[in-house]
Amino acid sequence: MNQPFFENIEPIKYEGPESESNLAFRYYNPDEIVLGKRLEEHLRFAVAYWHSFAWEGGDPFGGFTFERPWHPQDNMKNAYLKADVAFDMFNLLGQPYFCFHDADVRPDQGNFPDNLATLNEISDYFFDKMKNQKTKLLWGTANMFSHRRWMAGASTNPDPEVFAFAAATVKSCIDVTHKLGGENYVLWGGREGYETLLNTDLERELDQMGRFLSMVVDYKHKIGFPGMILVEPKPQEPSKHQYDFDVATCIGFLRKYNLEDDVKINIEQGHAILAGHSFEHEIALAVSEGMLGSIDMNRNDYQSGWDTDQFPNNTPEVALAYYHIIKGGGFQAGGTNFDAKLRRQSIDAEDLIAAHVGAMDICARGFKAAAAMVEDGHLEKALQERYEGWKSKEAQNMLNSDLTTITDNVLKNSINPEPKSGKQEKLENHINRFV
Ligand code: XLS
Ligand code: NI
Ligand code: NI
């Protein structure tokens, strides 16, 4: 199919920090070796199909602004055109991965058999395209939040028929992800939550969600899907209360249903902010529990209170996130998915490319800063020094004793601790040497 959507745009190249071009990488050189590995293999960038190609630019006060050639997205002809444009963009950017929901790539047919047939049809088309270009699938997922059938939840729905439709939908999406060699499968519970307890049996709904996820894990093993299963926390929006509130809540949930070995976590910057955390807090917590799977990289407006999904544009924030990812051993099957969308006034085809180029550059810059911070070692050393006291035998023994013994010791040795500086500003100043 011949379409002129990205007219006059050449494949994006690395030109270095001095480049004057709007459409060149200044920091992202995929072949640069950082910490012994190519940058491309560290960062594992993915483009999100939904924001870049399915979203039409509407907001609660106004309609669509984008008017792409593949709109309206209600027929398969336009689904094919959209796929052509998407894979053209992947070629221009050269990022190694993409991610998609079923609903991004084919129109909803209003019933399961037709949804299944069209998903299989368009994913066969992807399969052929992926034979001819380097783009791989980071993860697949099911959109079980847009269509009205999901309004009261998918697996947590009061209606068992919706649970059944959800199970069949997820099975079809795992099958397609497997067919395309996807490296992960994500479940984000957009409607898995509630508006009011007046009509919600919270305990029952959580049990339904636990059973559902267990079936997903069983199915993954049954078909030999080698990818990771990931859940993605978010505190609210679209539901008032989402069950997968944040990383800590997800870990508690996964442990309760004995799923912590089979399911890891996909952490999104904006969702961390909405939950009242920093991105690095969520990452560090997941790393410390062995639960980090992948990240959805974006930027949230700090004032709005809703999910703004902006492209990242803040090196210090990104650097601290990658610092904790590197300290955790880096990505295994996961990667950096740009779960980010244009502002609705950015209607040009070139805006889509520029947004990704800038985002890839910011991530590369942040990642290299983080790697330098790791190599420099000052932060790690300061951290070790702060906990130095715990290295002594007495301190370690105390952790295995009891309150009475400790009290006796406090009295006997007149223990009276002298406060020590936390040196926060000095440490923050140190970060500024790298970002
Ligand atoms: C929405 C979520 C969504 C998931 C995939 O807020 O971030 O985009 O990443 O369903
Ligand atoms: Ni996301
Ligand atoms: Ni989001």
Q: In the structure encoding, which two tokens stand for residue 47, read together?
A: 């483009």
Q: Is the CB of 307 under 6 A from ligand 1?
A: yes
Give the residue, out of 234, 237, 306, 308, with the most ligand 1 atoms within 8 A of its beta carbon, to mutate for a pocket test: 234
pLDDT at 4: 76
Q: What is the pLDDT of residue 1?
A: 45
Ligand 1 pocket test: pick from 105, 244, 299, 339 the residue with the most ligand atoms within 8 Å of its Cβ.
339
339 lines ligand 1 (CB under 6 A): yes
Q: Ligand 1: which atom is nearest the Cα of residue 99?
A: 5
Residue-level pLDDT at 77 = 98
Residue type, 91: N
If you take atom 8 of ligand 1, which residue's CA is the nearest one? Answer: 339
Look at residue 159 in the predicted model and tell me its pLDDT: 98
pLDDT at position 407, please? 98
Residue 300, SS3 per DSSP: coil
CA distance 325 to 330: 5
Q: CA-to-CA distance for 105 and 126, rounded, in angstroms?
A: 10
Q: Are 352 and 342 in contact (CB under 8 A)?
A: yes
Predicted pLDDT at 155: 98
pTM: 0.97
Amino acid at 344: R
Q: Are strands 45-48 and 37-38 parallel, antiparallel or unpaired?
A: unpaired
Residue-wise over 118-141: b if at least 16 C-beta within 10 A, else e? bbeebbebbeebbeeeebbbbbbb
DSSP states along 238-295: SSSEESS-SHHHHHHHHHHTT-TTTEEEEEEHHHHHHTT--HHHHHHHHHHTT-EEEE
Check if the beta carbon of residue 144 is closer than 8 Å to that of residue 154: yes
Crossing angle between the packed helical segments 279-288 and 315-327, to the nearest 10 degrees: 0
Atom from ligand 1 closest to the CA of residue 143 = 10
Ligand 1 in reach of 141 Cβ (< 6 A): yes
Instruction: State the pairing for strand pair 193-194/228-231.
Output: unpaired
Kindly state the helix (H) or strand (E) to which residue 101 belongs, with its residue range. Answer: strand 97-101
Ordered by where they begin, the domains of the chain are 33-376 (3.20.20.150), 380-431 (no CATH)
**Which residues does the annotation mark as catalytic?**
101, 104
Atom of ligand 1 minimally distant from the CA of 268: 7
Q: For residue 101, which ligand has an atom nearest its CA?
A: 1
Taking CA atoms only, the protein residue closest to ligand 1 atom 6 is 307
Cα 80 to Cα 122: distance, rounded to the nearest angstrom: 7
Say yes or no: CB of residue 102 within 6 Å of ligand 1: no
Q: Where are the alpha helices (DSSP H) in 191-236?
A: 202-223
246 Cβ below 6 A of ligand 1: no
Tokens representing 216?
Answer: 């997903």
Nearest CA to ligand 1 atom 5: 188
CA of 432 to the centre of ligand 2 (A): 29
Q: Is 43 left (phi over 0), alpha (psi -120 to 50) or beta?
A: alpha
DSSP-derived secondary structure letter, 194? E
Cβ neighbours around 116 below 10 Å, total? 19
For each of the chain's 435 residues, which pLDDT tens digit applies?
455 799 999 999 999 999 999 899 999 999 999 999 999 999 999 999 999 999 999 999 999 999 999 999 999 999 999 999 999 999 999 999 999 999 999 999 999 999 999 999 999 999 999 999 999 999 999 999 999 999 999 999 999 999 999 999 999 999 999 999 999 999 999 999 999 999 999 999 999 999 999 999 999 999 999 999 999 999 999 999 999 999 999 999 999 999 999 999 999 999 999 999 999 999 999 999 999 999 999 999 999 999 999 999 999 999 999 999 999 999 999 999 999 999 999 999 999 999 999 999 999 999 999 999 999 999 999 999 999 999 999 999 999 999 999 999 999 999 999 999 999 999 999 999 999
Ligand approaching nearest to the C-alpha of 299: 3
Q: Which atom of ligand 1 is nearest to the CA of 234?
A: 6
Q: Which ligand is nearest to the CA of 242?
A: 1
How far apart are the CA of 45 and the centre of ligand 2, in A? Answer: 14
Q: Is 244 in the pocket of ligand 1 (CB under 6 A)?
A: no
By the 8 A CB rule, do 274 and 307 touch?
A: yes
Residue 113 has a CB neighbour count (10 Å cut-off) of 9
8 CA distance to ligand 1 centroid (A)? 32
Task: Show the tokens assigned to 132.
Answer: 């001819």
Cβ–ligand 1 contact at 51 (below 6 Å)? no
